[in-house]
Amino acid sequence: MSAIDRLFKRLRAEGRKALMPFVTAGDPDLEFTGKLVHRLARRGASMFEIGLPYSDPIADGPVIQASYTRALDRGVRLAEILAMLGRTTPEIESPVVTMGSYATVYRHGPRAFVTEAKAAGVAGAIVPDLPVEESDELAAICRAEDFSLIQLVTPTTPRDRAQRIAEQTTGFIYYVSVTGITGERNALPTALVDQVAWLREQTPLPICIGFGISRPEHVRRLAPVADGLIVGSAIVRRVAECGERSREEVLSEIERYVGGLLGELKA
């Protein structure tokens, strides 16, 4: 049983849902990334999604794209990210997963990537541009290492393909709430709840919803049908203020923001 499996087993037994912040590794630098993860873990975040900066983001909106550019311009590299996570993960209870392009995994070597990520305390990976039809090799490596390979289902995924994705996925299914790119939104699609409810009937895997979630009302609406909620752009946008405000102010602001969303999950 992986760290993610254990987390959701515990949360389900307690009748709770997960909140997963997304943080771009190396924006504004890796020291800040580690501090932010520590602070949000202490605040109660259940799990973390760490973005691996890549020059050609797959589904990321302008806020996360800009954060990747800032990190790459500062020269952040995969080895440094894993080293930072290796120092951070032993000090928190929340599992950490990476989000990155398959180009990063392939260039590093799939087996080496999984081995080194696991050694750094990483529990799994989200690889949004790896089609399920081409995921057998990486999925086999991940299963052998008890390392979760989290795959995505979108509102336009045909139902037979969604079932195949669910069969190949380990850890949890990442359900993309909208058709399009990441970013904060005022409202989410009205059909979202029904779409997730259908998927839940097809698989015992936990389902976490991401893309566009940023407001307390989003949490209240989706918590009843999801096992977890992923919040990204709203956090990354606040991190970008490090150039205008002190880092302590930014850390405290993000901590308050995430604390408010966690309060909605507990309400």
| Calpha distance 22→37 (Å, rounded) | 10
Those residues with Cβ within 8 angstroms of residue 241's Cβ, 6 or more apart along the chain or in another chain: 250, 253
* Helix, strand, coil percentages in the chain from 3-state DSSP, rounded to 5: 50, 15, 35
Contact in structure between 94 and 48 (CB atoms under 8 Å): yes
Annotated catalytic residue 217: no
The identity of residue 12, as a single letter, is R
**Neighbour order of strands in the sheet with 96-99:** 148-150, 124-126, 96-99, 48-51, 18-24, 228-231, 207-210, 173-176, 152-153
| Calpha distance 248→51 (Å, rounded) | 22
| Calpha distance 210→205 (Å, rounded) | 16
DSSP collapsed to 3 states, 115-159:
HHHHHCCCCEEECCCCCHHHCHHHHHHHHHCCCEEECEECCCCCH
| Calpha distance 160→36 (Å, rounded) | 39
- Catalytic annotation, pick one of 5, 29, 49, 264: 49
- Catalytic annotation, pick one of 5, 29, 60, 227: 60
- Chain centroid to CA 98: 7
Annotated catalytic residue 49: yes
Residue 241, classed as helix, strand or coil, is helix
Q: Which amino acids are annotated catalytic?
A: 49, 60
